[in-house]
Chains A and B, each alone.
Chain A
């Protein structure tokens, strides 16, 4: 199970805590890798910066990506993910806090797979995961704790 990583890209610590809690509470037992901004997300994915030397053959199962991020914003991260052969096919679910139509349009244009309201609305997340065909890969039916 350790390879089934969920990458959570979120700068707001409250949202990070609440998201992780929501996932855990609903028996998602995957390892959740938290990064605080777009640059860190890219470093993680491509094994650069503080993640230099990471085995980049291991890529997350799914990426939860906030749009409004310091340094490198979410849309740019998405663009870079889609531009690189190593990450091109990774499912990316956008975390949204607003209904701004413009965000949705540009995210879908850049290849986002789905949308989930922040902090992770569990029902929406399950729906997104189902659409991406990963539902059973992420749900741990018998939590060990």
Chain B
């Protein structure tokens, strides 16, 4: 049986979407679903427009890598048809419009769960992978904090 590629990476380098796609595309792949998130420069907060200068990302790298592997394992448990998986988080100071995160899944066909698998991947990353961001705006600096509390076994 062919070994399916799994990539997880925490990097300060620019995300190269084409290269990541190349790395998770097997000859049997016919579909890829990418989710990428970027720094939002303008946020509507109850009708007030808030401007972000940049986000500063930090990570507990060894644990974050282990938890990214866990997210990939969970995707494979739920969608065995998924072939390649890439989970990448860029860290450091990132400015509006810059991609910061990427979850990509490949499979033979589009109807085998790749959309759901990528969605699941980004949701889980935001729940259990120890990465944090600080928003820096003209008004000051705020560490953003998630709401999810991991349960035993996560």
The answer to whether A and B come from one shared complex is no
Which B positions have Cβ atoms within 8 angstroms of A?
Answer: none
Which A positions have Cβ atoms within 8 angstroms of B?
Answer: none
